[in-house]
Chains A and B, each alone.
Chain A
Amino acid sequence: MSARTAADAATDTMSGAINQALDGALAEDPSVFLLGEDIEDPAGGVMKATVGLSTKYGRARVRGTPISEQAIVGTAIGASLAGFRPVAEVMLMDFFAVAMDQVANHAAKLRYMSGGRTHVPITIRTAVGGGRQFGAQHSQSLEGWLMQVPGLKVAVPSTPADAKGLLTTCIFDDDPCVFMETMSLLFTRGPVPAGRHEVPLGTAEVKRPGDDVTVVTWGWQVGEALAAAEAVGAEGISVEVVDLRTLVPLDREAILRSVARTHRALVVHAASQFAGPGAEIASLVAHELFGDLAVPVERLGAKYGPIPYSASLEVRHFPNRERIAQRLRAMVGSPSS
């Protein structure tokens, strides 16, 4: 962050930062419009991310819709083919199951199927649950589904500043982007640069430097990894936390650069561990740095099973700071230095 933007940064929640990005995009470009369930005032979105925008820009550009995920995404696709940059809201990521034909068979593939003669510059914002006792259908992290569909970009911010920057970049990107808004992070405050702020897709950020082991993670689990790093740091284990920020494009170099130095890698995510996104990253590290690894690459994802309701079970389903710390201790063994 430059001195100037640092000086300009005020604090906001992630929800507020998302609102700032949407506001800025609507103000900057008449081809931007929003559509989704309950996004108009006074509701302003179930996560309050669109509060004030229909009042400011009118209901032609901030459009509430019926509960019709296929129509929401399909309408965004159609308008984008005609030169608009629609930002669609799919209220919860679990509802991608409803919208998936439009997402996977249409948005992701139209550029390719048309030989580059059409393209789909849409952004789909979606709230991601987990850890809030919303049960099996309102808590899923499904980024792995999206990574398996060539043609989709996937962004997952962990801070308000990254949320503003990544969302702005997604809106003005010429390909379909899914922007995941982690519910448990939406109302935590952090610095947010004023004015236009972009974070390039495919650029990870080291959220905490360290020497003994690299945690590769994103979204919700960044905070858990940082807390775990703090805890084991007190025991003499130096942890580097790499926040991928986008899964597609994937910043391979940032991952490899870190692990080449620490010789240990743990991938942490809220998505199901089995056949999850961590497998791709673990494979990358194992293949590229086989001879440099002090221990095998480890993964820590959600347990294989629907997400339980009971808080005492849910806390055991997802990774958390204690389990990450435990794994880090096991990987590093006796602390360095």
Chain B
Amino acid sequence: MAVSEPGSVGVSLDDETALEVYRTMRRIRVAEDRIVRGIGAGELRMVYYGVRGQEAIPAAVSAHLRPDDAMVTTYRGMHDCIAKGVPLVELVAEMCGKVTGTSKGKGGPMHLSDPQSGLMVTTGVVGGGLPIAVGLGLAAQLRGTDQVTVVNFGDGATSIGATHEAANLAALWQVPVVFVCQHNQYAEHTRFSDYTRTERLAERFATYGMMAETVDGNSVPDMYDAAGRAVVRARSGGGPTFLECLTYRLGGHTFGAATDYMDVDELAKAEEDEPVARCRRWLQEERGIDEKTLSGIDEAAEAEVEEAVEAAKSAPDPTEDELQTDVFADPEAVPA
């Protein structure tokens, strides 16, 4: 089991890719800020599970992925979807329940899918996506393609049985799956130290016989390197990897939920380390990227998100004929 050094700088991450990663992170951040503002103002209505603080993980992972690589994520997954390439207009429309959404408004924010960009499943059940990811990986293995499957989940998912069944089977069959554990320190409303005596989740998953690594999930270069190792391993037939990506959920379980179980000082410290600003500083200080370039990315993200929100707001709801379509392929098979 390898554990990367905190703060170690990625050597393989070129400036162009680093800016792409930053662009993705900024688009995620702007989308979240806009959605949260919209919900708060009564302008948008949805259940929203915040991703603030976790942006670097999927942005760095997705920099190694192709559209034909598969992804599975969870209800706290808008950042994963954006990073994988789901078009923002359709994504926001789906979250608003509109017919122009990725699922015609029938899936919603917890059940996003967009096979065209490789987003195969978003599950509302903690741990439910991991066995499915093993199957997507097996499909690539059986076909002999070099497609990779990435499955995202929180640290909370490491307590449920499906996760362990999937990890064991993935290692046994050496399927090309990257298990991306976004360790945000909370299982819904319970702190990590209150639900397990395990200190390093990577150690637990290494015992299944797969490569497992702990990485600073808020460091773009570290995250990029670790994800690169895992994706290359999967793509080249080297089997699955478990990535324990250390991060911090900078908010409650859902938008508007109480946060009184969160340590105020710890949260403030985590906010100082938040990955979008950190990446921006890093690009300026370590890579010498100028402010104008970064502001340009920021402004473009604002415009893109605003356009998506406005499009969603003016889009129609699905009509009644959608109520019982897509239950089965054959509408005749649907009981009256």
Contacts and interface: CB of A to CB of B under 8 A. Distances in A.
Interface string B130-144: 111111111110110
B329 A201 contact: no
B165 interface: yes
B111 to A, nearest CB: 4
B335 interface: yes
A118 interface: yes
Given A70-B165, A82-B140, A115-B326, A110 B102 contact: no
Nearest to A104: B125
B325 interface: yes
Interface in A144-168: 150-151, 153
Contacts of B252: none
B107 to A, nearest CB: 4
Interface string A218-261: 00000000000000000000000000000011101000000000
A102 B133 CA distance: 12
Contact of B335 (A60, A101, A111, A250): A250
Interface of B: 70, 72, 101-107, 111, 113-115, 120-121, 123-125, 128, 130-140, 142-143, 149, 161-162, 165-166, 168-169, 172, 325-329, 332-336
Interface string A73-112: 1111111111110100000000000000110011001111
Contacts of B111: 109, 113-114
Contacts of A248: 333, 335
B329 A175 contact: yes
Interface string A181-205: 0000000000000000000011000
> What 3 pairs across the A-B complex have the smallest Cβ distances?
A78-B135, A74-B131, A82-B139
Contacts of A86: 135
A11 interface: no
Given A76-B135, A79-B142, A151-B327, A201 B128 contact: no
Given A77-B131, A113-B107, A113-B113, A68 B136 contact: no
A78 B138 contact: yes
Interface residues of A, number: 48
Contacts of A80: 135
B328 A175 contact: yes
Given A75-B134, A114-B113, A33 B335 contact: no
Contacts of B335: 248-250
14 contacts: A71-B165, A78-B72, A79-B138, A80-B135, A83-B139, A84-B142, A106-B123, A109-B111, A111-B327, A113-B113, A114-B102, A115-B101, A116-B104, A151-B328
A101 B162 CA distance: 9
A255 to B, nearest CB: 13
A153 B102 CA distance: 26
Given A78-B136, A82-B136, 13 more contacts: A66-B169, A74-B166, A78-B131, A78-B134, A78-B137, A78-B139, A81-B139, A102-B132, A110-B121, A115-B106, A153-B328, A175-B333, A248-B335
Given A79-B136, A112-B106, A117 B123 contact: no
Question: Most chain-B CB neighbours within 10 Å: which of A114, A150, A201?
Answer: A114
A264 interface: no
A110 B328 CA distance: 10
Contacts of A113: 103, 106-107, 111, 113
Contact of B102 (A77, A79, A115): A115
A174 interface: yes
A65 B120 contact: no
Contact of B142 (A33, A65, A76, A109): A33
A263 interface: no
A81 B136 contact: yes
B327 A249 contact: no
Contacts of B139: 78-79, 81-84
Contacts of A68: 165, 168-169
Contacts of A201: 333
Contacts of A78: 72, 120, 131-139, 149
Contacts of B114: 117
Contacts of A66: 165, 168-169, 172
A269 interface: no
B142 A60 contact: yes
A36 to B, nearest CB: 12
